[in-house]
Structure 1
């Protein structure tokens, strides 16, 4: 009985230590989540304005053509995939990889992984990786997003791949993060209702459009990165909160078992003392 009590006590200490870690990780994730949400809000107007400008150029010029809009036979696709730098974030990483596998099944694809988990996933499975220069999402800067845009635009122009998609996780709430893919190239302008005035661009609409495309792709990549970072922190905060609550429930159960074991040990000692006293009197 005493050995059982010792085991329970050690287990209680172990759970308490784990709960302290999960509680601390929850607080860290909450702090990072607030900063990530702010970046999401600040990044949206930039790529929305670029997207609207590109659509205006494409829709307002009847003779407009661009290599970035021309659809061609799909021989290979490129996916820019954002995943986490660490685990302990619930289903954040696994949901992303499950979606990618479903979308790319039976297709010829290459990948530009962003984040340690994404790089590990595609490398271990022998998938074609365009570059491994962006292993940590937490260290990605705006200039890195422009570098990624330069790499993918160059590959697209050279015919290395015929479609470019970016895969990230949209942050809906702390409890809801949805992995999605967005096609970047060929660019599809948003339909515009009603009559549009013809706008003249210098040096020309095609030149202006082609110059904006890398900026647009860099902006989209940065926006997806912000959304994915917020989603990762939201998923980690929720996972750590659940882990903390489970640890608390486990402590309650272990405390109950410990008290029962302690009460049984006390009862047994009293019984032995009473039995010994009765025997000595006899």
Structure 2
């Protein structure tokens, strides 16, 4: 009985130590989340407006001869996948990879991983990577997003791949984060997605571009890609921190419940041990 009580006491101490760690991680995630949430909310209008503008151009303009607007001859896809740098965030990373695998099923594809977990995941699966230089999502800046965009445009023009998809986790609320995948190049893919959601009116040219629509469009595309990627990075970081905060809060509560149950078991065992000792003493006294 004494040995059993000692094991329970050690177990209680172990769970208390774990609870201190989960509580600290929850507090750290909460402190970082406020700033990340504000950044995501500030970037979101730009992120959406940029995508809607290119979608409108795809549907309503017919003059473009740009390589970015032509129907791709290559069936290879490049997925820009943005996951986290660390675990202990509930199903954040796993849900993103499931969404990505569902979209890429049956396709020939390569990836541009952003985040340590993304690099590790696709290294294990031996999927070809465009580059692994942007392995830490926490260190991604606006300048890095422009570098990624120019790299993607360069490889797209070379014909390394014919389609670019962006896979990230959208921040819905503190308790809800939604993984999503959508096409960002070529323009024909964006047009197909737009026409699936609403029937396009008769295509017509709405804007006169100077010096020309193709030149303007080719100059805009890298800026467009950089803006979308940066917006997705901001959303993903806020989502990761929110998921980690929720997971650590749940872990802390579970640890507290476990400690209560172990204390109850320990007190019962202690009471039983005391009762047994008293019984033995009384029995011994009667024997004398």
Q: TM-score normalised by the shorter chain: which range applies?
A: over 0.9
CA gap 1:117/1:144 in 2 versus in 1, 3 angstroms: same
1: CA distance between counterparts of 2:58 and 2:203?
A: 14
Which runs of 5 or more structure 2 residues have no equivalent in the other structure?
none
- What residue number does 2:243 align with? 235
1:84-99 to structure 2, matched below 5 A, reads: 84-99=84-99
Q: Does the aligned pair in 1 maintain the 2:59–2:203 contact within 8 Å?
A: no
1:268/1:67 CA distance change after superposition, 3 Å? same
Q: 2:109 aligned with 1:103, yes or no? A: no
Measured against aligned partners, the alpha-carbon deviations of 1:58-110 in whole angstroms (never above 9, x if no partner) come to 56654333221111234210000011100101111111112222222221100
| Equivalent-residue separation in structure 2 for 1:2 and 1:11 (angstroms) | 14
Deviation at residue 193 of structure 1 after TM alignment: 6.2
Deviation at 1:54, TM superposition (A): 3.7
Q: Following superposition of structure 1 onto structure 2, how do residues 43-54 of structure 1 map, counting pairs within 5 Å?
A: 43-54=43-54
Q: CA deviation at 1:48?
A: 3.4
CA drift of 1:53 comes to 4.5
Q: Which residue of 2 aligns with 1:160?
A: 160
Where do 1:1-282 residues align within 5 Å?
A: 1-55=1-55, 61-187=61-187, 188=190, 198-280=206-288
Q: Which moved more, 1:129-138 or 1:44-53?
A: 44-53
The structure-2 alpha-carbon separation of the partners of 1:193 and 1:48, relative to structure 1 and needing over 3 Å to count, comes to farther
Give the 3 Å change call, closer, same or farther, for CA 269–14 of structure 1 in structure 2.
same
For residues 61 and 239 of structure 1, the distance between their equivalents in structure 2, rounded to whole angstroms, comes to 47
Cα offsets for 1:115-143 (capped at 9, x unmatched): 00000111111110110001111111110
TM-superposed deviation, 1:57: 5.0
Most deviating of 89-98 and 142-151: 89-98
Separation in structure 1 between the aligned mates of residue 263 and residue 216 of structure 2, nearest angstrom: 70
Paired with 2:113 and 2:149, the residues of 1 have a C-alpha distance of 13
Contact 1:166–1:184 (CA under 8 A) maintained in structure 2: yes
Whole-angstrom distance in 2 between the partners of 1:61 and 1:269: 91
Q: Distance in 2 between matches of 1:104 and 1:16?
A: 43
| Residue segments in structure 1 that go unaligned for 5+ positions in a row | none
- Which stretch of the first structure deviates more once superposed, 85-94 or 64-73? 64-73
| 3-state SS of 1:89 partner | coil
Cα separation, 1, equivalents of 2:205 and 2:109: 40
Paired with 1:126 and 1:263, the residues of 2 have a C-alpha distance of 58
2:182 and 2:44 map into 1 onto residues whose CA distance is 15
Task: Give, in angstroms, the shift of residue 173 of structure 1.
Answer: 2.0
CA distance in 2, matches of 1:50, 1:91: 29
Cα distance in 2 between the residues matched to 1:95 and 1:52: 26
State how far apart, in whole Å, the 2-side matches of 1:224 and 1:269 are: 66
Superposed CA RMSD: 2.0
